[in-house]
Structure 1
Amino acid sequence: MAHPLARMARAVYHPWPMALLAGVLSALLLLAASQLFASLQAQRMESAEMNARGERFLQRIEQLFGQLREGLDELEGQPLRGCDRAMVEVLRQVSFSHRFIYEAAFIGGRQHCSSWPRQSSLDVNRPPDIKGTRHQYWLNTSAERDDDLAALVIGRGYFRVSTSRGHLADVVDLEPGSSLLLVGKDSGQVLPLLGPQPIWPPKGWPSPEDRPLLIGGEQLVYTMPRPGQTFQLVLVAPRAGLRQRIDDIWQPLLPACLLLALLTGALVFQQVRQRQSLTGSLAGALRRRELHVHYQPIIDLQSRRCVGAEALVRWQRPDGTLTHPDLFIPLAEATGQIRRVTDYVLEEVLEQLGDLLRSHPQLYISVNLAPCDVSHSRIAAVAARLLQRFKVAPQQIAFEITERGMVDVQAARETLSELRAQGHKVLIDDFGTGYCSLAYLQDLPIDYLKIDKTFVDTLGHDAASSGVAPHIIRMAHALELKVVAEGIEDDAQARLLASEGAHSGQGWLFDRALTAQKFRERMAAQAEVP
């Protein structure tokens, strides 16, 4: 099963298919994201407009209700109680002096008179639609087309005042399909002031007081706050224009989405082509032995003498450009070439420094292992074959493994045990930055812990992590392990680490990574000093 999948992956992993796939996927993702953005933006705009419209309507309707109540106050404040000529004149005066009062009337006993005696639309015998603590309310259907119809009537005592449908329409400019409702708080009775009667109640009604806008699938329902009143004013508006608004916002985003998708495809094309080129170049560099091995000296912190070195691989292209290990090592791991790189480095170390190691039996060179080197027991056989070829003792070649290389602890334990059984030293590199627990340390066959540079940098500072390096050293001593500190840059760090019990260290304080020839010269100079 794995073989066909691998062939399929290799077939697809080419610049044009990957670029096309990346472009299509990014286009779909960007279009979906832009559609979602347009929808959310349109809904925010819709809600903001509805809230603003509701507040504006409330201000105008409160002005209308204020005039109706003011007219009732004036009528109740005057002494006349009867339907004579003087009363009719008072009723007309109240009607003429208030913009929103269409008709004023007196109803007492069997007497009934109005400011419009011949055109009155008041039904004197009809019970009120809503009874409040001080006022009574009558509402005529909004289906009537007569603008002079008394749409809303308010009564108190012997007097009633009304506003016409035309006045109400002037105050509240409804959009087509919208409705203005009067809803009793206690009874739940719904009376349309303007517009058609909607389906009532809507889902989610009543809405919370702190959120007057209720958003439904087909309509918006805005409840105008009226504390202390026996009824609520509700504005209902259809969402017919939402789709168009979304399209208006989304359409200008389409060219940008397609352009970004095109750029993504082009970038993926370039990256895949570069990666394939780098993969092929790395294979060729290994064949032509163009990779160079440099050596970072490891210094005994007590004697300050070089006791070993860490082998570091460098790739300098034929054109002189230097490819950083952070780029080609992960690539080698991803493409399965890392084993060849490990074997190459080990062979280069023995070929370049084999005679030096034979003449300095206490000197050792450490070689870094990749996770795949540890997960398979292959490296022990390779090392044994090369050591026999170059006549170098196994204890002079150490192997370093990072914490992330021990994902499979059981496989790592078997490989490291085999290496130690052959006489190799084993080091845990960059300790403290991964997920290797104390339980693993107790169980793994290792000889050294290497303290990561990040913990060495904090020494001597008031940082929260300044005590990590001494803690690692004490923990290593408890486990009978030796300690190598990385990234030492000043003498104070070296002295402090030595006082804490670190055995050796490496860093720019002592030397940078050296070529094989420079490392030989350093060892020769050290040999001349007693």
Structure 2
Amino acid sequence: MSSLIASVRQIFYRPWLLASLVALASAALLLAASVGVTLQQMKQSESAQMNARGERFLERLEQVFGQLREGVDQLQTLPMRGCDAAMLSALRQVGLSYRFVYEAVYVDGDIACSSRGGEQVMRPMRAPDIQGPTYSYWLNTTTEPNENLAALMLGRGHFLVSTSRGHLTDVVDLPPGGSLLVVLDRGSRAIPVLGPPQSWPPAPDWPPPSRKALIELSDRLVYRMPTKSPDYQLVLIAPRASLPLKLNGMLWLLFPGSLLLACCIGWLVLQLILQRRSMSSELQQALRRGELQVLYQPIFELDSRRCVGAEALVRWRRPDGSLTSPELFIPLAENTGQIRPITDFVLQRVLEQLGQLLRANRHLYISVNLAACDVMVPRIGRVAARLLAQHRVSATQIAFEVTERGLIDVVVARDNLQALRSVGHQVLIDDFGTGYCSLAYLQTLPVDCLKIDKAFIDALGHDAASSGVAPHIIRMAHDLHLRVIAEGIECEDQAVLLNSEGVNYGQGWLFAHPLNARQFAELITRGRRMGGRRIDDEP
């Protein structure tokens, strides 16, 4: 396992290799997505074509069946019977009047005559496939390729009319391998009128519960065409295309576009890695060159405006005088593991700069922020013990602030925080209300104080959705016998309101901006109250 982890780390320390892997993975995903989109669109297009074709078939076939019915109805109304000249003329007239009537026949026993003349007269060779109260239907009366042979026959009384295969193929354009079926006996039997025979039913659970006309099966498309006759239904079946990947217009765009986007993703990843590695290297150099500095944000008692401590803040001032935001380099340091030497640096610098001040003012304390990696291991306790012994400062004067987001494993964090607290350190929950620390967890954690995030302080006195959060946190802290520090106080009204709610301590620009060690020491030694000017207002 350790060798695997080492190999993974080696990959992450090779920007070009990692960027190439990301580009390849992105290309594979994007190409797979492109193929999927193309296949889906091809299937949708195939279904849409089948739908349109089915609607067109239904319209045309209804014309065919309608003309056959009209033709045989017209013959049935004739008063004459037999095969005289008048009957032959009537038969020919029906054949000429209706486009889809190929032949009209009169049959009465051995007497038979046809609109087409000649001695050979079309006769049904089997019982009708559909025997309705009015009409009889013979389907697929011939399978021969001759288009001049009757393929569909309809009878009423002594009269028969038929349409030829040529007429049907003229109005119905079957897809390759498709068939036009007439479904009988409530869907239990199907006879092909055009095309090859098809297995019926097309699915084990036929008919499906869906009432949609187009049924999409894995290997076939089935279009159900409702008819005006209750005796039969028309069904068009076509095999699904194998959907070969063709470089159609969409793929010509998707494939190169996917590759180009994958290259862009790889390039962005490379730039991000190089930037982070560059900043990580600069941060490491900054520690060695002493570019990091510690400032102190004073914490005041709201009632007396007496300074009781400060929060140690780390700042990175580059050689050109510019400041790098902690929101940029602190997360980077946490991800790269550099946060530990930074925390040690802050703790050491606090005791170096303020050790004498802390020894002279036993009520004063400095709080140091801990990252999640130091909350999860007992390392920082040993470092603090060594430095406190070196500078002869009490453990009660160094507090540790942890954020809710740093409590990854509450059980492990509780044990490590309890170890710090047992030797005298105070434990503060920073930015409370912005993480996921529930009341149940908070009750089990060894905590001395809650710090309310500035966002909730800013909402006080405004019609904001979060304006009631701060009072709720204050009441909860009092119920748990915890002190409360309000962060980000910027106006006197906020300080007064918080004091009236039972908050005894606060920090923010109302009292002072972050101070350097000299300014903070002057604030303490001169015992200046901050009700008038701030110390950083002085020249």
User: Which residue is equivalent to 1:335?
Assistant: 336
User: Which residue is equivalent to 1:271?
Assistant: 272
Alignment length, in residue pairs? Answer: 529
Cα distance in structure 1, aligned partners of 2:528 and 2:235? 97
User: Which residue is equivalent to 2:10?
Assistant: 11
* CA pair 399-142 structure 1, distance change in 2 beyond 3 A: farther
User: Which residue is equivalent to 1:441?
Assistant: 442
Letter of the 1:12 counterpart: I
Q: Which runs of 4+ in 1 moved over 6 A?
A: none
* CA pair 281-6 structure 1, distance change in 2 beyond 3 A: farther
User: Which residue is equivalent to 1:107?
Assistant: 107
Cα distance in structure 2, aligned partners of 1:120 and 1:183? 31
Deviation at 1:245, TM superposition (A): 5.2
Deviation at 1:98, TM superposition (A): 1.2
Letter of the 1:182 counterpart: V
* TM-score of the aligned structures, taking structure 1 as reference length: 0.91
> 442-451 vs 329-338, which deviates more?
329-338
Deviation string 1:155-185 (CA, Å, 9 cap, x unpaired) is 2233222111111111112233322122214
* CA pair 113-460 structure 1, distance change in 2 beyond 3 A: farther
Deviation at 1:371, TM superposition (A): 1.6
Give the alignment's Cα RMSD to 1 decimal. Answer: 2.7
User: Which residue is equivalent to 1:176?
Assistant: 176
User: Which residue is equivalent to 2:425?
Assistant: 424
User: Which residue is equivalent to 2:239?
Assistant: 238
Letter of the 1:341 counterpart: I
Secondary structure class of the residue paired with 1:296: strand
Residue pair 2:305, 2:530 contacting (<8 A) in 1 also:
no
User: Which residue is equivalent to 1:59?
Assistant: 59
User: Which residue is equivalent to 1:300?
Assistant: 301
> 493-502 vs 39-48, which deviates more?
493-502
Deviation string 1:10-59 (CA, Å, 9 cap, x unpaired) is 32221121112111211111111111111111111111111111111111
Residue pair 2:189, 2:200 contacting (<8 A) in 1 also:
no
Residue pair 2:124, 2:138 contacting (<8 A) in 1 also:
no
Secondary structure class of the residue paired with 1:128: coil
* CA pair 278-253 structure 1, distance change in 2 beyond 3 A: same
Residue pair 1:207, 1:213 contacting (<8 A) in 2 also:
no
* CA pair 125-38 structure 1, distance change in 2 beyond 3 A: closer
User: Which residue is equivalent to 1:507?
Assistant: 508
* CA pair 316-48 structure 1, distance change in 2 beyond 3 A: farther
Deviation at 1:380, TM superposition (A): 2.1
Cα distance in structure 2, aligned partners of 1:153 and 1:508? 98
Give the alignment of 1:73-88 within 5 angstroms.
73-88=73-88
Give the alignment of 1:138-153 within 5 angstroms.
138-141=138-141, 143-153=143-153
Deviation at 1:90, TM superposition (A): 1.4
Deviation at 1:522, TM superposition (A): 5.2
Cα distance in structure 1, aligned partners of 2:501 and 2:451? 14
User: Which residue is equivalent to 2:461?
Assistant: 460
The answer to whether structure 1 residue 47 and structure 2 residue 47 are counterparts is: yes
* CA pair 147-244 structure 1, distance change in 2 beyond 3 A: farther
Deviation at 1:345, TM superposition (A): 1.0
User: Which residue is equivalent to 1:386?
Assistant: 387
Deviation at 1:519, TM superposition (A): 4.0
User: Which residue is equivalent to 2:68?
Assistant: 68
Cα distance in structure 2, aligned partners of 1:166 and 1:256? 49
Cα distance in structure 2, aligned partners of 1:199 and 1:245? 30
The answer to whether structure 1 residue 26 and structure 2 residue 9 are counterparts is: no
Cα distance in structure 1, aligned partners of 2:303 and 2:408? 35
The answer to whether structure 1 residue 259 and structure 2 residue 265 are counterparts is: no
Cα distance in structure 1, aligned partners of 2:506 and 2:105? 105
Give the alignment of 1:197-208 within 5 angstroms.
197-203=197-203, 205-208=206-209
Secondary structure class of the residue paired with 2:148: coil
User: Which residue is equivalent to 2:130?
Assistant: 130
Deviation at 1:72, TM superposition (A): 2.5
Deviation string 1:284-307 (CA, Å, 9 cap, x unpaired) is 211222112222232322234433
* CA pair 483-145 structure 1, distance change in 2 beyond 3 A: same
Deviation string 1:106-159 (CA, Å, 9 cap, x unpaired) is 234543222123276622453111223432111235631211111111122332
* CA pair 512-120 structure 1, distance change in 2 beyond 3 A: farther
User: Which residue is equivalent to 2:489?
Assistant: 488
Letter of the 1:145 counterpart: P
Cα distance in structure 2, aligned partners of 1:501 and 1:179? 85
| Runs of at least 5 residues in structure 2 that lack an aligned partner in the other structure | 532-539
| Runs of at least 5 residues in structure 1 that lack an aligned partner in the other structure | none
User: Which residue is equivalent to 2:537?
Assistant: none
The answer to whether structure 1 residue 193 and structure 2 residue 200 are counterparts is: no
* CA pair 119-394 structure 1, distance change in 2 beyond 3 A: farther
* CA pair 175-479 structure 1, distance change in 2 beyond 3 A: closer
Deviation at 1:397, TM superposition (A): 2.0
Cα distance in structure 2, aligned partners of 1:522 and 1:284? 33
Residue pair 1:42, 1:246 contacting (<8 A) in 2 also:
no
* TM-score of the aligned structures, taking structure 2 as reference length: 0.90
User: Which residue is equivalent to 2:291?
Assistant: 290
User: Which residue is equivalent to 1:411?
Assistant: 412
Cα distance in structure 1, aligned partners of 2:33 and 2:212? 28
Deviation at 1:520, TM superposition (A): 4.7
Secondary structure class of the residue paired with 2:91: helix
Deviation string 1:391-423 (CA, Å, 9 cap, x unpaired) is 433333211011232233343233323322333
* CA pair 92-12 structure 1, distance change in 2 beyond 3 A: same
